[in-house]
Structure formats: structure tokens, C-alpha cells
Structure 1
């Protein structure tokens, strides 16, 4: 009987221990839940900011300009951003790479000259390499569809580019007539 009483006593102690341990764990779980709620609130407050209107996106919205001939017919459409001008030629005007006013005047004499002047200013330390004028002609087969000019930098240069494009396309268009 003595062993049976000792066993009952041990079982009772074990039961008390288990109940106490369960109570401690439940208390710990409650504390962890409260801490988790606090962390969730702080995380929500700090990571989710109110939406602000994107300033950079507003600057990147292109202003459209129509480039017209002396007679008023559409020669090209220009989408103008802060550092880039995309000039899309009128599809009715067929411009090829080997056409004289396009390659010899617009590309070589105007744009390449501007680029060379910029490179000279870079070598003199007056201009950063990332600010040098560059351009790309987008072709569809052998027909030029678009001229992309980057880093034109100021209104005077842009005006010179637009006037040169206008003269070039007007000259090409009048040669068709």
C-alpha cells in the first residue's frame, strides 16, 4: 500500500506540475499575443505610408508638339520630356538613311556637330560625360520612323534641332511633289 500511496502522491504532484506548467504557458501565450498586436500596430503605422502624388512621374509626362511645314502639313510629332525629345516622322514622308538632307545635314552637320561640341566641353571639364548629346534613329526596314535625341539640354539647342528636322522633312516632302 505504501507504494500505491507513493504512486498516487507522485501522480498528484505530476498533475499539479502539469497544471501549473499549462497555466504558465497560457500566460506566456497571452503575453506573446499582446506583443504581436503591438508589433503589428507599429509595423502598420511605419510601413504603410499615405500615398503621395508621384512628382517624378509628373515630370516625365511628355509634352506633345506638332512640327509642321511652311504650308501647314504635318511633318512630325515630337514628344518632349525633360532630357529627351522623341520625334516621330509622318509616315507619309518616306525618310531613308541615305537621303541627303537627312544623313548629311540633320545627322552629320547638326546632331554630330552638337555631340562633338559636347565632347569638347567634356574634355575641358565644363560638362559631364552623362550630359553629352546622343541620338538614335529608329528604322522600320530602311525607312526612318523616329529620331530620339537625349540631353539636348536647353531650349536654344532644342529649337535648332526642331528647325533642322523641319527643314529636312520639308525638303524631303517637297521632293515627292
Structure 2
């Protein structure tokens, strides 16, 4: 292929493999959602559910009430989030009472290779002590940092330009390496993810990337 190096072709093949896995996972999620929706429809059909029209509530008043309630909920959520963020700053990631831990395991032998600690506004990806992965091992820089995390930063920068986001709220990340070997990754810290969808994307991508890095290291 003219204009493309061997590395470009390899990276494209790896990304295609990752995208294929993402499609399969999303399809599975969609099927589960459809099943849940079907169950809910069955409950509503057989129960005593009544719509706003059946309750003789004027449409205009119903719409107005929904808007007011939505605004009130947004303000309360923001206040609760701000308070929670301040409390989180005073607490350590070592406190198990407020964190979620998700393991990353290698598919071929189910070996635990890393742990992902998810806090209210940050994530920490920590490889197991027996796992050595280098900053320079593909596709860490080319895909995980430059495509996924930097891609999220680019979207946040657009929101900042449009006035929807402040610079302090923009997603950022830091790579902690071994003191003895500056290329050996000890921890990846991601702040201000803000959205659940980003948590899922970062986790799924990290799982795939770390697995690929280990495979390359074994060759």
C-alpha cells in the first residue's frame, strides 16, 4: 500500500481488532437492554399504569411541571457533586469505602495483569507488581494516549471554546514510572473523566492495550 508504512498497517490491524471487540460488547449490551425493556413493557401492560392524558392532567401544565422539576434536579445534583468533590479531595485512594475496583485479566490464561481504581472524578490504572510494561511498547502511546485520552482532551477543549466547560474541568492524565526504570509504567492517573461512558471506554481500551503490550513483550 503506497503511502503507508508497515507500522501503520500493523496499527490499523490492531485498531480494527479492538473495534471488532467493541462492536461485539455493544451488541451484547443492546440485547440485554432489549430484554429489560421487554420485561418493563410487560409490567406496564399488565399493571395499572396510567398516562398523564388518562389522569386528565392538562398537557401544558404537565410540560411546565416537568421543566421546573428538571431545573431543580440539575441544581441539586450540581451542589451534591461539588460537595462530593471537596470531600473526595480530603480522602485517600487507599480508603476502600468509596472506590470501585475493576480487574484487568489476560484472556488466554485469566491472569490478573492490572487493577483499575475508579473514584468519583478520577481513575488509576495500576499494573500488578509482576507485570512490566514499557511506555514505548505499542500501542500505549500511539493508541491509548494519542487516540483515546488525547481525543477526549480535544473534545473537552472544544467545549471550553464554546463556553460549556472550564479549563479546570478538562480531562487530564499523568503517567507514573518506576524510579529505577523510567520507561516502566507503575500507574496511570486520569482526572476529570466526568462521564460514565468515558469510564467504560477507558477501562475497555486499557484492558485491550495492556494485553497487546504483554503479547509484544513476550515475542
Name the TM-score, length of structure 2 as normaliser.
0.52
The answer to whether the Cα contact below 8 Å between 2:123 and 2:189 also exists between their aligned partners in 1 is yes
2:199 aligned with 1:158, yes or no? yes
Q: Provide the rounded CA distance (Å) in 1 between the counterparts of 2:113 and 2:103.
A: 8
C-alpha displacement at 1:89, in angstroms?
A: 1.1
2:113 aligned with 1:75, yes or no? yes
More strand by share: 1
2:102 aligned with 1:65, yes or no? yes
Please list the CA deviations of residues 69-125 of structure 1 after superposition, one character each: whole Å capped at 9, or x if unmatched.
223221211111110101101233322121121111111111111111111111111
1:20-59 equivalences in 2 (<5 Å): 56=87
The answer to whether the Cα contact below 8 Å between 2:175 and 2:187 also exists between their aligned partners in 1 is yes
5+ residue gaps, structure 2, are 1-83, 92-97
The answer to whether the Cα contact below 8 Å between 1:86 and 1:146 also exists between their aligned partners in 2 is yes
Name the TM-score, length of structure 1 as normaliser.
0.63
Q: Provide the rounded CA distance (Å) in 1 between the counterparts of 2:161 and 2:149.
A: 19
C-alpha displacement at 1:162, in angstroms?
A: 0.6
Q: Provide the rounded CA distance (Å) in 1 between the counterparts of 2:128 and 2:142.
A: 20
Q: Provide the rounded CA distance (Å) in 1 between the counterparts of 2:199 and 2:157.
A: 18
Please list the CA deviations of residues 23-62 of structure 1 after superposition, one character each: whole Å capped at 9, or x if unmatched.
xxxxxxxxxxxxxxxxxxxxxxxxxxxxxxxx836x9532
2:164 aligned with 1:123, yes or no? no
> What do you get for the CA RMSD once the two structures are aligned?
1.9
Higher RCO, 1 vs 2 (CA within 8 Å, ≥6 residues apart): 1
2:152 corresponding residue in structure 1: 114
Secondary structure, counterpart of 2:101 in structure 1: strand
Secondary structure, counterpart of 2:135 in structure 1: coil
Secondary structure, counterpart of 1:93 in structure 2: coil
1:97 corresponding residue in structure 2: 135
2:16 corresponding residue in structure 1: none
- Displacement over 4 Å in runs of 4+: none
1:148 corresponding residue in structure 2: 189
Aligned residues: 122
Larger radius of gyration between Structure 1 and Structure 2: 1
Q: Provide the rounded CA distance (Å) in 2 between the counterparts of 1:75 and 1:121.
A: 35
Q: Provide the rounded CA distance (Å) in 2 between the counterparts of 1:159 and 1:65.
A: 11
